[in-house]
């Protein structure tokens, strides 16, 4: 099947795609890895890799819209990234604030809704203000939901959900016996979006690195050798093509 022409998926985990039928995933999640290595290979400061990586985000969004992907979630800043140098964290947050200020109108014009998961309250006030402005401006857009995972950790998200359910149980709003996978799912920050059908990681690393651990239980995983700043339309289409060739079983037998 030629790249650039993929039939739509009929659903996510709750509606398996049978028999290896070609389909575009409803929800794609991306672990954007390799900015630093890209910069070091060119003897450039790390921020140069982050700037080029921001350009790749724009290409990724455009391709997702063109192909009919409805949800795109990007691992933009993990909870572990706070261990990086103060300068790199500052450069990253300044770059994110710049792109939110100067690119949000373009995203809004494309019908993109911007959302944030994680702990954005850990960032400085100016970035939080830009995030709030962007979320408010794009709230009612429906072409694509672009979710930024900022100061995000999958284990921490599950702990927060469990704590919320425990508080409800102590308050008598629910009983322990009533807690199911569905109730825990509904306590997650991603409760109002489908689980990812496809998780892509760039840079050749083959791990989830604490990203959407609960939500990715039945996602297809694709690890690509390309560094994130070199990820563009052709790489995204390649990942979609590989996804379309997968046979999704969800624990059942093949069709």
Catalytic residues: 33, 81
Contacts of 255 (CB under 8 A, 6+ apart): 18, 19, 247
* 49 marked as binding residue: no
* 208 marked as binding residue: yes
Are residues 146 and 113 in contact, defined by beta-carbon separation less than 8 angstroms? yes
* 79 marked as binding residue: yes
User: In this structure, what are the phi and psi dihedrals at residue 246, rounded to the nearest 5 degrees?
Assistant: -80, 150
* 220 marked as binding residue: yes
* 151 marked as binding residue: no
* 50 marked as binding residue: yes
- For 219-254, b where at least 16 C-beta lie within 10 A, e where not — what string? bbebbbebbbbbbbeebbbebbeebbebebeeeeee
* 203 marked as binding residue: no
Surface-to-core class of residue 141, CB atoms within 10 Å of its CB (0-12 exposed, 13-18 middle, 19+ buried): middle
In the block, which residue shows the tokens 């830009």?
130
* 246 marked as binding residue: no
* 36 marked as binding residue: yes
Q: Supply 7's token pair.
A: 């039939």
* 209 marked as binding residue: yes
Q: HSE of 107 in the Cβ direction (CA atoms, 13 Å)?
A: 29
Annotated binding site for Mg(2+): 33, 220
């Amino acid at each position: 099947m030629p790249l650039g022409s993929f039939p739509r998926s009929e659903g996510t985990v709750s509606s398996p795609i049978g028999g290896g039928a070609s389909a575009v995933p409803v929800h794609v999640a991306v672990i954007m890895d390799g900015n630093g290595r890209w910069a070091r290979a060119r003897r450039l400061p790390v921020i140069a890799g982050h700037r080029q990586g921001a350009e790749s985000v724009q290409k990724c969004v455009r391709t997702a819209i063109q192909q009919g992907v409805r949800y795109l979630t990007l691992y933009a800043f993990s909870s572990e990234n706070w261990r990086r140098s103060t300068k790199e964290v500052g450069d990253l947050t300044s770059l994110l604030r710049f792109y939110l200020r100067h690119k949000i109108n373009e995203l809004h014009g494309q019908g993109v809704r911007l959302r944030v998961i994680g702990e954005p309250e850990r960032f400085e006030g100016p970035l939080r203000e830009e995030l709030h402005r962007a979320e408010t401006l794009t709230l009612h857009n429906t072409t694509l939901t672009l979710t930024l995972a900022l100061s995000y950790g999958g284990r921490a998200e599950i702990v927060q959900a469990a704590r919320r359910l425990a508080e409800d149980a102590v308050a008598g709003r629910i009983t322990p016996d009533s807690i199911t996978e569905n109730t825990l799912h509904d306590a997650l920050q991603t409760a109002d979006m489908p689980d990812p059908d496809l998780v892509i990681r760039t840079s050749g690393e083959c791990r989830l690195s604490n990203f959407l651990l609960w939500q990715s239980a039945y996602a297809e995983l694709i690890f690509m050798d390309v560094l994130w700043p070199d990820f563009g339309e052709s790489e995204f289409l390649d990942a979609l093509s590989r996804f379309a060739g997968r046979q999704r079983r969800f624990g059942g037998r093949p069709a």
